[in-house]
Structure 1
């Protein structure tokens, strides 16, 4: 049961385009909108400007929390699933920035227009735990050891990711389009896979002009965490079949 809750929490956070970041200064709480992405090991990544209030506060007090919210079941906002992640934020070391920034930009391609500005830096949150609320009066605390994905599976998918993405985009563009438009509700476009991890895959489509600021992104959550490339293939085959059925 806990493993299933952890998977739900990860899928919710990985699929969110934005979140609320909670910081504090001198005991005064502060909340702001941020655009996170999750690293392969589920660590939240944030591209933050040094000019922002929350960045100055994190430098003084790195303890923070992130709230990710899904869609409500009806008119009552309390029916929305949500997860709060707590942890400690720190700037990403220079040697790790290129790979993690590419991961972040896969979720937020429009930000390529400003991601290299001098006042922006990539931050990573080392997680401490989570609180998952599945809807009204359905709350569950998840310990860190239960929340994080299996490290061996993370390593296996990470090693295979480039080959998976290259093969899917070169040989199965029609399947990617079926998943994006039929299963996930995206608009018609030049869809491609841009990232894959143990919990799902990120798909993106650009404007006809090819401008990154025009790209749309959607998230395919797998039905369960995967441990190897073969299981990724199984999930993609299922998702493409479902997408085509819904388009027919």
Structure 2
């Protein structure tokens, strides 16, 4: 950076931590970014999402989907959480980008928890091609709206 440029990232504070945790806690879907297993090209898809009992995001994904193969080849991924509100410029609404690692979660042990937050999944939760995935954050970037950017560690996201 030159002297004229200033770092747009604000120091992480309790308000930023709380907003990031709230985005994770209330999200019921997210955009998942992975690297395609065959080409390494970026790929994005929408997934259902719930917070785990420990606040770490969980998703039920089908082994038939291309993003599952991509995660098996390279578990490093990204989640974009947060939706524009019903009014105004979409860029003024908070969103959180998680850089994470996907790992298998205990589908049987977390069934009641997952379904309590995402009851529509009851239709397919027990299908054999679905697995529960845990997205363990490495770090996150929070955009709380114009001029409100923060870099958060995994510890900042812990409840």
1:130 aligned residue (129, 137, 140): 140
1:42 aligned residue (55, 66, 74): 55
- Rounded Cα–Cα distance in structure 2 between residues aligned with 1:109 and 1:17: 11
Partner residue in 2 for 1:20: 31
Greater fraction strand: 2
> 1:91 deviation in Å?
1.3
> 1:124 deviation in Å?
0.7
Helix, strand or coil: the match of 2:45?
Answer: strand
| Structure 1: gaps spanning 5 or more residues | 150-248
Partner residue in 2 for 1:33: 46
Q: How does 1:30-179 map to 2 (within 5 A)?
A: 30-72=43-85, 74-92=87-105, 96-149=106-159
Task: Report the TM-score, using the length of structure 2 for normalisation.
Answer: 0.85
Aligned residues of 2:84 and 2:91 also touching (Cα < 8 A): no
- Rounded Cα–Cα distance in structure 2 between residues aligned with 1:135 and 1:145: 22
Partner residue in 1 for 2:6: none
Q: How many residues were matched structurally?
A: 146
> 1:73 deviation in Å?
7.5
- Rounded Cα–Cα distance in structure 1 between residues aligned with 2:83 and 2:121: 22
- Rounded Cα–Cα distance in structure 2 between residues aligned with 1:12 and 1:42: 11
C-alpha root-mean-square deviation of aligned residues, in Å? 1.6
Higher RCO structure (Cα 8 Å, ≥6 apart): 2
Greater fraction helix: 1
| Structure 2: gaps spanning 5 or more residues | 1-11
Aligned residues of 1:73 and 1:79 also touching (Cα < 8 A): no
Aligned residues of 2:141 and 2:152 also touching (Cα < 8 A): yes
- Rounded Cα–Cα distance in structure 2 between residues aligned with 1:88 and 1:106: 24
> 1:4 deviation in Å?
2.5
- Rounded Cα–Cα distance in structure 2 between residues aligned with 1:73 and 1:120: 33
- Rounded Cα–Cα distance in structure 2 between residues aligned with 1:82 and 1:101: 27
Helix, strand or coil: the match of 2:28?
Answer: coil
